[in-house]
Amino acid sequence: MSSEPGGIYGDRHADRGDLHGVTVILAGRSGRTYLGRWHEATPRGVVMKNVAIHDPAAPGAKPREDWLADQRRFGVAATESVLLVPPDEAGEVARLV
Amino acid sequence: MPYPEAMIAPMRDEVTRLGINELRTIEDVDTALGSASGTAFVFVNSVCGCAAGRARPALAHAVATAARRPAGMYTVFAGQDVDATARVRSYFGEYRPSSPSAALLKDGEVVAFMHRHEIEGRSAEAIASDLIAAFEAHGA
């Protein structure tokens, strides 16, 4: 089996960068964590799709690592179909997996 | 909004030609999964080129290679066969919707699940390896 992208309508939109379509953890400088599919980085911020947000200040919020473990196991509990994270909020990025 | 069927047909065929039964209606789903006995694999197909374009070839490799396979092999097309997809997901318990994705059920319980985030950005070989491991661990 080829390691090249395969199948019908096979692969990513390479013009949008390496992370396009990949589920990432975006650390917010506010302390929030944004978990969703990276769409693209623009001058107005990072566009993400199907995003779950962890806010440690929210009542009853789980510890961040517990929340992430839940998302890894059961899938992303998205509350936002599309989200723009402004440049002054967007911090480190890591893949969920 | 669903894509034109003519565009989707090759993606359906890429899975069904493997001998995997496509579930198009709620009735199809309940007939396939409702008995809650034995092992059943469900591939949630998707238009997404980012992930499904790797998942379908991986599935083909896994089906051709695995020494054991689930007794039932099914697929549903997310975003196209909306009612059937929602019904399939009702069998997935706590596992949240994503597409593409894959679930392996044993006696009605999910025993292995591959989310979209475990597919995207990985090689078809790596995805196939995980599928084969699940098939061989739980297959008939």
Question: pLDDT for A9-23, tens place per residue?
Answer: 444 455 667 788 899
CA torsion through residues B12, B113, A64, A26, sign: negative
pLDDT higher than threshold 80 for residue B103:
yes
- Cα dist from B121 to A9, A79, B117, whole Å: 15, 23, 8
Global pTM? 0.89
Q: Do A1 and B64 meet the contact criterion of CB atoms below 8 Å apart?
A: no
pLDDT of residue A15: 60
Residue in A77, A55, A11 with CA at minimum distance from that of residue B97: A77
Q: What is the arithmetic mean of pLDDT over B77-90?
A: 97
- Nearest CB to A1 within list B53, B115, B128: B128
More confident residue, B2 or B91: B91
Average pLDDT, chain B: 94
Closest residue of B to A37, CA-based?
A: B117
CA A78 to chain B, closest CA, distance in angstroms equals 9
Task: Please report the pLDDT score of residue A7 as a whole number.
Answer: 42
Q: Which residues of B touch A16 (CB under 8 A)?
A: none
Q: Which residue has the higher pLDDT, B10 or A6?
A: B10
Q: What is chain A's length?
A: 97
> How is residue B121 annotated by DSSP?
T
What does the mean pLDDT of chain A come to?
Answer: 87
Residues in contact with B115: Cβ distance below 8 Å, sequence separation at least 6, in sequence order:
A75, A76, B95, B98, B101
Q: Is B9 on the interface with A (CB under 8 A)?
A: no
Whether A37 contacts A31, CB under 8 Å: no
Higher pLDDT, B50 or A14: B50
Give the whole-angstrom CA distance, residue B62 versus residue B34. Answer: 25
Nearest to A10 among B53, B98, B123 (CB): B53
Cα radius of gyration rounded to whole Å, chain B: 14
What 3-state DSSP class applies to A97?
coil
User: In angstroms, rounded to a whole number, what is the distance separating the alpha carbons of residues B94 and B92?
Assistant: 6
Question: Catalytic positions of B, please?
Answer: 48, 50
Question: What span, in angstroms and rounded, lies between the C-alpha atoms of A87 and B60?
Answer: 42
Determine the residue among B12, B14, B43, B50 to mutate to test chain A binding: the one whose Cβ has the most chain A Cβ atoms within 10 Å: B50
Residue A82 pLDDT grade (very low, low, confident, very high; cuts 50, 70, 90):
very high
For B131, counting Cβ atoms within 10 Å of its Cβ (0-12 exposed, 13-18 middle, 19+ buried), the class is buried
